[in-house]
Amino acid sequence: METRFTRGKSAILERPLSRPKTEVSVSAFALLFSEVVQYCQSRVYSVSELQARLAELGQRVGGSLLDVLVLREKNGRRETKVLNILLFIKVSVWKALFGKEADKLDGFPAKVTVHWHKGTTLMIKFDETVIARDKALEGR
């Protein structure tokens, strides 16, 4: 039997039947997302209520995803050092969300400094362009 390769991908008959854990059908995701938005839309009276409800739902989903990733990657161990937390986000969280590690974040127009006053405080000073863009989006 002849196998054909297209653009560096293996033939469909050579792929395993079970999908990896990270692969989800785009159409299934689109259907689920559409149904969630429609469900939330049917129970609110304004756009701001819809935004609040979707944000609350996203916060719950994000928190659950973070719990799962911490249990899988760190065996439930809590990180207390800022650098280790940032590395965990860069590697594990970003890969779970977007399929690859975070890269090229150095060009983001912000400056981060660490201060100590009764605990560690991270101060993020955004560039004026970021603040202007945020104000423009807020005015919509």
- Per-residue model confidence as pLDDT tens digits over 4-16: 555 556 666 777 6
Q: How many CB atoms lie within 10 A of CB 73?
A: 15
Asked if 25 contacts 102 with a C-beta cutoff of 8 angstroms, the reply is: no
Mean pLDDT of 53-68: 90
Q: Residue 36: pLDDT above 90?
A: yes
Q: Is the dihedral of CA 67, 73, 76, 78 positive or negative?
A: negative
CA–CA gap between residue 112 and residue 57 (Å, rounded)? 29
Q: What is the mean pLDDT of residues 19-35?
A: 80
What would the mean pLDDT of 72-94 be, rounded to a whole number? 81
pTM above 0.85, yes or no: no
pLDDT above 70: percentage of residues in the chain: 78
Whole-number mean pLDDT of the chain?
79
| Residue 62 clears pLDDT 80, i.e. is over it | yes
For residue 116, name the pLDDT band (cuts at 50, 70, 90): confident
pLDDT band, very low/low/confident/very high, at 1 (cuts 50, 70, 90): very low
Residue 73 contacts residue 92 (beta carbons within 8 Å) = yes
